[in-house]
Amino acid sequence: VQLVESGGGLVQAGGSLRLSCAASGIPFDDYAIGWFRQSPGKEREGVSCLGTSDGAKFYADSVKGRFTISIDTAQNTIYLDMSSLKPEDTAVYYCALGEDSATIATMWSGLFDYWGQGTQVTVSS
């Protein structure tokens, strides 16, 4: 499995960014794919994910209403559209993939077997 992220960068508070993650070699018929982030001194946290079995989407409370996850199933590519960015959104963002299940709503990182290399998002105040 290969997950290739792109789209990170530096943006001012209130701005927008779009992250992309292209997945290949997926070993599951139905899979869960999503975004996690980690900033220095903090644990990795789930940001948003979706399951391809039913298209259900999940968001962390901290990003609801500001971030939108979407998928191009033909390209096996997911996107994270981030708007109204805040300095606290600064982190390395990782794309992750695992087998779809009823528990992906928890966004527990242990459910995701495969990880991208990460892309830095920096929001300046």
- DSSP string for 52-68: TTT--EEE-TTTTTTEE
At residue 34, the pLDDT reads 96
Task: Give the mean model confidence (pLDDT) for residues 71-83.
Answer: 95
Residue 64: pLDDT above 90?
yes
Task: Give the mean model confidence (pLDDT) for residues 18-39.
Answer: 96
pLDDT band at 87 (very low <50, low <70, confident <90, very high): very high
Task: Give the mean model confidence (pLDDT) for residues 38-59.
Answer: 95
At residue 105, the pLDDT reads 87
d(CA 76, CA 65): 24
d(CA 19, CA 57): 16
Query: Considering the chain, what percentage of its residues have pLDDT values greater than 70?
Result: 100
